[in-house]
Amino acid sequence: MVREFARRPAAPALRPWVAGFSGYREAGVGPVRHRGLPSPWMTLVLTLDDPLVVAQHPDPGQPGGSFDALVGGLHRRPALIVHDGRQSGVQVALHPLAARAVLGVPAGELASVDADADAVFGAEVDRVREQLLAAPDWPTRFAVVEDWLAGRLAREATAVAAAPAPEVVRAWALLRRGVRVEAVARHVGWSARHLSGRFRTEVGLSPSTLARVSRFDRTRQALQASQAVPASPRTIADVAAEHGYADHAHLDRDFREFAGAPPRRWLAEEFRSVQDGDGAGAAR
């Protein structure tokens, strides 16, 4: 059995655009089904020896498929990842406001979509994967991806069109902190309707949905952390209250929408397979 997981935050120069990197390699672990949950970050996966198999995409109209490299937009329904006991790759948690600079399109064009990375980046994806396959360890692989993304930012971010409006940047930060949409709109000097339209273009979610997804993401990370501590005194209701949910039923509704299962069931299933973490989990 092989089970390797590695994680590293992005270098300071990339942190406005990239939350971090994770690497994973599993073999001989038996068939696995894993939910790729909504989060505030876009997903970039570059596989190593084994393709990424998506049995169900966030958009149920998109047929499942196998990917050597994938770019996933923000979404509000889970993806279903499967493998037969082997998976390997590097995953990047990409800020949606970096989409124009890194991907050449606004994040809204990839909302709920899992795209073949070749269609976004062209042949350079194959070159990067070749470097990853030749790299001897996870730090070297992370450095390969980091250098590649930094190069794209250096080439693309000089264009004025690549920079999102400062109002969108401020709104993003406020919504991630839990500020109500109406207050955010007043703060940036836009109507709630105009803010919603710009957000759907630049982020791929409405402001209210981004706020909900952000709270859900923080909460599911806290639930996972509590499960990792033997005999933790924190209950699901405790974690829900700490993150702004009115009660357990309120948390249940978000989990059923975003994870496709109530929290207890999701935890039981997820702790038997690959776990996400800090915005950059293995295989989404």
Does residue 115 fall inside a structural domain?
A: yes
Q: Judge if 175 and 230 occupy the same domain.
A: no
Judge if 150 and 185 occupy the same domain: no
> Do 171 and 32 share a structural domain?
no
Is residue 19 included in any domain, yes or no?
yes
Instruction: Determine which of 21-25, 87-91, 262-266 has the lowest per-residue pLDDT on average.
Output: 262-266
Of the segments 13-17, 126-130, 278-282, which one has the largest average pLDDT value?
126-130
CA–CA separation, 284 and 280 (whole Å):
7
pLDDT the model gives residue 284:
59
**Quick check: 273 pLDDT over 80?**
no
Res. 113: pLDDT tops 60:
yes
242 in the same domain as 185: no
Please tell me whether residues 62 and 102 are part of one structural domain: yes
What pTM was computed for the model? 0.89
Could you tell me the CATH number of the domain that includes residue 150? 2.60.120.10
Range of the domain at 28: 2-156
26: in domain? yes
Instruction: Tell me the two tokens of residue 8.
Output: 């590293």
What's the pLDDT at 29?
Answer: 86
- 162: confidence class by pLDDT, cuts 50, 70, 90: low
**Start-to-end CA span in the chain (Å):** 21
Number of structural domains found in the chain: 3
Q: Burial letters for 205-243: b for 16+ Cβ neighbours within 10 Å, e otherwise?
A: bbbbbbbbbbbbbbbbbbbbebbeeeeeeeebeebbeeb
Confidence of residue 10 (pLDDT cuts 50, 70, 90): very high
C-alpha span between 250 and 219 (Å, rounded): 12
Helices (H), 104-243: 117-121, 124-134, 138-156, 166-176, 181-188, 192-202, 207-227, 236-242
Judge whether residue 282 has pLDDT over 80: no
Structure confidence at residue 280 (pLDDT): 38
Mean pLDDT, rounded, for 39-57 = 96
My answer on whether 213 and 200 are in the same domain is no
Co-location of 137 and 230 in the same domain: no
In a domain, residue 82? The reply is: yes
User: Is 151 in the same domain as 168?
Assistant: no
Same domain flag for 90 and 111 = yes
Q: Token match 């709630």: residue? A: 192
142 or 230: which carries more pLDDT confidence? Answer: 142
Q: Would residue 98 count as lying in a domain?
A: yes
**In a domain? residue 284:** no
104 torsion bin: left (phi>0), alpha (psi -120 to 50), beta (else):
left
Average pLDDT (48-59) is 95
Q: In the predicted model, is pLDDT for residue 274 greater than 60? A: no
How do residues 218-260 score in pLDDT, each as one tens digit?
999 999 888 777 766 778 889 999 999 998 899 999 999 999 9
| Residues 89 and 199 both lie in one domain | no
Is 278 part of any domain? Answer: no
Kindly state whether residue 215 falls inside one of the protein's structural domains: yes
Residue 94 has pLDDT above 50, yes or no: yes
| Residue range 16-39: mean pLDDT, rounded | 92
191-201 average pLDDT score: 96
How would you classify the pairing of strands 2-9 and 18-27? antiparallel
